[in-house]
Structure formats: C-alpha cells, structure tokens
Amino acid sequence: MTEMTDFTRIHQMIEPHVADRPEAIALVDTDGTAVNWRGYATLIDEGADLFARNGVEPGDRVLVVAENCLAVAVAVMAASRLNAWAVPVNARMSADEIARIAAHAEPRLTLYTSHVSKEAATHAEAAGASLVETGFGAVHLAATESGAGEPVEEGNGQVAVILYTTGTTGDPKGVMLTHGNLIFAAHASRDLRDLTAADHVYGALPLTHVFGMASMLMASALTGCTVELARRFSAEALYQALGRGATVVPAVPQMHALLMSYAAENGHARLGSDRLRYVSSGAAPLDPAWKRKAEAFYGLPLQNGYGMTETTAGVSGTRNAIGDPDISVGPPLPGVEILLDKSVGNEPGVGEVQTRGPHIMKGYFRNPEATAQAITSDGFMRTGDLGRIDAEGRLHIVGRSKELIIRGGFNVYPPEVEAALNDHPAVVQCAVIGRTVQGDEEVLAFCQITSPGAATTEELADYVASRLTGYKRPSRILIVDALPAAATGKILKHRLLTHFAGRLGQHA
C-alpha cells in the first residue's frame, strides 16, 4: 500500500486508484452522475489546463465560491497539480464576506459553482464572471488582479488550501493547510473509520469546511472509496441516501438530530439500514441521553471526535462499542500530542487544550502576529477550548474559554446545560450562552423543538431544574423555530443575541 511518505501533493493520492481500479466510482455528483477514478483524473487534468490558460501559476491562489459538487473536488486537485493554492469559500456567505476574503487572499482566478448554487450564480453575475462549459459543470470564471505568487516548496510543506475561519469579525483569518497536513488527515480519518475501497461515504459536510475537506474528500482520495456529494444538508436526502446503501456518515450533532426528527415524523423509530456501518459526530459536544437516543436509532455506536480548522480537523477520536457511556472526544490520534494549560480555566483538572503534530496548520496567511499568538514556540497550537483528560487518557471538552459563563462567581459550562435540555424528548437541539447583566452573567438557552406546542418554556425550565444545580439553570429559555447555523449545521452562537434581539429585549 502506498503510504503517506510517498505523497508530497494531495492529487497524487488518487493515482494508485486510477492505475489499479480505474472503473470504480470515485464521486457521485449532486445530480446523481457517477464519476470513476479514470474520469476523475481526466477532469483534474482539464481543470488544471483551464486554470493555466487563465493565468494561474505556481503559488497563485484560486478562489472557489461554491456549494458541494464535483467541480469543488476537481478545483482543489487541479490547483494541487499546478502548485497553486485552492481557497474554497461557501457560496452562502454574503457578498461583503466574500469580498473581504478575496481582498485578503488576492486570487489570480475565481471559480463559481453557479450550475448548482443560485448564491454562487448571484456572486458570479455581480463579479462579471464568464460562463465556461467544462466536463465538471457549467461554471463561471473571473480573472482578477492578484497578489504575487507565494514560494513553492518541493516537499509536503507546500500550502495546498487556505480555509477562512467561520464566524470571525474584523480581518479574515486564512488558515494555511499544507499538502502534508491534508495527507496526514486523510490517513487519520481512514484509520479511525477503518475505511476501505468498498465504502460509500455520504458527503453533506461542506467541502469549504475542514471537516468535509479532510474527512470526506481527502480520506476518500487516499482510500479509494466513493463519496456521494450533497449540495447542502437535507434530512430527507440523507434518509434516502442511507436507504440506497451509504456505509459511512460523518456529521455534526445537529444533522443527526434533524435526521431523527424527520424519521420520527414519518413513523420510523429506527433507521433499519443493513449497510450503514459507521456514524460519527463532531464539531459540537455530545450528551449521554442524546448519544443513547442516536445509537438506538442507528443500531450502531455513535463515534465522537475533536478538531478545528487549524488542526486539519483531527486531534482525537473514539472507537467505542455501542452502549459505551463514554462521551469524551477520545484519545489523541496516532502521531498527535495533547496537553492542558492549567493556567487557563481556574478549575481543578481543567485547562486550555493544546496540541502538536503533523496536523497543525502552517499558520495564518499573511498574519504572522496571529500565528505567533496561536502557536507556541515549541509548536503547540492553543485551541481556546477548555478540557480535561480522564484516567484512560481520553480528552473531554468542557467548553470554549471565551464561552465560559461565570455566574455568581461559579463556572457554568454551556455544554452541560445544553445536555440537560437536549435530554427532553421535545428538544431537537439547543444552544446556551452567557449575557452580561449588572454585576454578573445570566444563562440564556435557545431551544428548537420537534413541533409547535411540543413543549413550553415553563416545562423545559421545570425539566432542567431537577438536573442542574441552581446557578446552572437558565435565566431564560427561548423556544425558536430554528437556530442560526453555518453550512455544516454547526450553531453560530455568536449570532444568537443579535438574531433574537427582538425577543430578548433591551439587554440584547
């Protein structure tokens, strides 16, 4: 088997499959079109030629304004072929957000997946982009006045992708992920999930996000399995894909919650798939009751993991049996180091999670100051997450250092409050944040429920009163139709106060 040291560029990972299994299916596009490994390689060649004809040279950036489709995968690999850097951004971002990223990244060329995304088409029209018919779709291209090309490195330390972190304010932060980062992540994802060429991965996670980029696109390129791309998440579409034989579903808790809610509405208490073998959750905490509920639905263990954009997704992961009460994010992945900075957190056994290894980003693009703040002199990444490590060496994330609520002098960790609320049968998902009030902080909870009238705020308050000590109980619970979320389904907590300002009143 070809191993990590044999590759210095991400596009090289598909070459063994092109040689050995050219007719096997590599990708299923959003319209159901299946592309085999030989066809995938041909499309990557076409993409590289198209980019080169439009002036892309080694070290240039190629902005990809997209929702999931074959064109994104081709663009990322085609950029690799040219020693250029792909910069995927979600087309559902606002025009201002994309403009700020473009001003920072200074791309030579921008590709819009206008054939699958009305948002991408709108951005393309505003940019005066030209329609180009390709084997991977009718996309739009716009050449721009780019900044200077970046130096090219021969080894795998060359940057492959820049991902801009979601939910940021002020200047954008472009996370530089190298070929080595992504190849390491591909191996870690393959090994953690025991992926084989026979697997069929359902790909609703956005390829513009590190979880989808690393755990879906890169892991499948290394393994030779099939990825079925979904333009965006839909509980109905996922349910149908599982019926067609998807074997692996990497997702975030909100996706699982919405799928179970959809199934229940249609009279299904259990999934009943005979091919699904692996289900994982990431990007948000689990709670025991919800985990039991999900495992009963799938008939499989729900595996958990932890990572962030700057760590190429993976830091740790579980390999638990069904029914295991463990709600940690697992031990460190092979080759990954974890330590806790106990000077942050102010609670016994709790500290800021720091991590070191081949998964750590090269740095923030053109921002050495932020890079120096994030990465210590000895190479550890400061995650900003608070955690503890149990006797078995498993990492438990207890919250974000910036999200810690200090109420009446006591620490309140939002995941603990969320776990208590999520245990209620009418709650689909919830988010808990703190809000400053005179001389203190109050605990606010926002709950999405299964259907109108399924629960009242009074019922939810009574429900958590027996599960949480007084200072941890929400000061206020709001029942909402939906929570503001990123394309991954991850709840955007920083938007809650403004999103629901009208209901929260004068303090919002």
Q: Are 382 and 442 part of one and the same domain?
A: no
Q: Is residue 66 part of a domain?
A: yes
Q: Is residue 82 part of a domain?
A: yes
Q: Are 417 and 372 part of one and the same domain?
A: no
Q: Is residue 164 part of a domain?
A: yes
Domain count, the chain: 3
Q: Are 164 and 288 part of one and the same domain?
A: no
Q: Are 267 and 166 part of one and the same domain?
A: no
Tokens 């993409």 found at:
47
Q: Is residue 192 part of a domain?
A: no
Q: Are 341 and 451 part of one and the same domain?
A: no
At 463-507, the pLDDT tens digits run 999 888 888 899 999 999 999 987 767 788 888 999 999 898 744
* Nearest residue to 218 (alpha-carbon basis) of 121, 73, 65: 73
CA 167, chain centre distance (Å)? 13
Backbone angles phi, psi at 68, to 5 degrees: -55, 130
At 19-64, the pLDDT tens digits run 999 999 999 999 999 999 999 999 999 999 999 999 999 999 999 9
At 362-388, the pLDDT tens digits run 999 999 999 999 999 999 999 988 899
Strands 61-66, 316-317: pairing is: unpaired
User: DSSP string of 58-105?
Assistant: TT-EEEEEE-SSHHHHHHHHHHHHTT-EEEEEETTS-HHHHHHHHHHH
Strands 302-306, 316-317: pairing is: antiparallel
At 64-98, the pLDDT tens digits run 999 999 999 999 999 999 999 999 999 988 888 89
Q: Tokens standing for 344?
A: 């942050």
Amino acid at 263: A
Q: Tokens standing for 470?
A: 């007084």
Strand ranges in 151-301 using DSSP code E only, listed in sequence order: 159-164, 174-178, 200-203, 226-229, 248-251, 278-281
Q: What is the CATH number of the domain that holds 367?
A: 3.40.50.12780
Query: Are 315 and 387 in contact, with CB atoms under 8 Å apart?
Result: no
Q: What is the CATH number of the domain that holds 176?
A: 3.40.50.980
Exposed (0-12), middle (13-18) or buried (19+): which is 242, by Cβ within 10 Å? buried
Q: Are 363 and 490 part of one and the same domain?
A: no
Residue where a domain stops, chosen among 383, 400, 417: 400
The C-alpha angle 395, 319, 264, rounded to 5 degrees, equals: 100
pLDDT of residue 58: 97
Q: Are 348 and 462 part of one and the same domain?
A: no
Query: Are 81 and 160 in contact, with CB atoms under 8 Å apart?
Result: no
Q: Tokens standing for 290?
A: 């919800």
Q: Is residue 460 part of a domain?
A: yes
pLDDT of residue 2: 43
Q: What is the CATH number of the domain that holds 450?
A: 3.30.300.30
Q: Are 303 and 396 part of one and the same domain?
A: yes
Q: Are 113 and 41 part of one and the same domain?
A: yes
pLDDT of residue 506: 46
pLDDT beyond 50 at 161: yes
pLDDT beyond 60 at 157: yes
Residue where a domain stops, chosen among 400, 421, 440: 400
Strand ranges in 282-361 using DSSP code E only, listed in sequence order: 302-306, 316-317, 337-341, 351-356
Q: Are 465 and 346 part of one and the same domain?
A: no
At 273-294, the pLDDT tens digits run 899 999 998 766 677 777 888 9
Residue where a domain stops, chosen among 351, 367, 400: 400
CA 33, chain centre distance (Å)? 25
At 354-364, the pLDDT tens digits run 999 999 999 99
Task: Give how far Cα 312 sits from Cα of 136, 193, 208, Å.
Answer: 26, 16, 13
At 198-221, the pLDDT tens digits run 999 999 999 999 999 999 999 999
Q: Is residue 250 part of a domain?
A: yes
Query: Are 62 and 51 in contact, with CB atoms under 8 Å apart?
Result: yes
User: Cα(327)–Cα(91) distance, rounded to whole angstroms?
Assistant: 34
Query: 19 CB contacts (<8 Å, ≥6 apart)?
Result: none
Tokens 């064109």 found at:
71
Query: Are 306 and 316 in contact, with CB atoms under 8 Å apart?
Result: yes
Report the chain's mean pLDDT, rounded to a whole number: 91
Query: Are 428 and 261 in contact, with CB atoms under 8 Å apart?
Result: yes
Average pLDDT over residues 2-26: 89
pLDDT of residue 89: 96
Backbone angles phi, psi at 307, to 5 degrees: 180, 180
Domain that holds residue 380: 233-400
Q: Are 242 and 372 part of one and the same domain?
A: yes
Q: Is residue 204 part of a domain?
A: no
Q: Are 135 and 85 part of one and the same domain?
A: yes
User: Cα(445)–Cα(476) distance, rounded to whole angstroms?
Assistant: 6
Q: Is residue 203 part of a domain?
A: no
pLDDT of residue 410: 66
Query: 316 CB contacts (<8 Å, ≥6 apart)?
Result: 305, 306, 307, 329, 330, 331, 332, 333, 336, 338, 394, 395
**Given pLDDT bands bounded at 50, 70 and 90, which one contains residue 508?**
very low
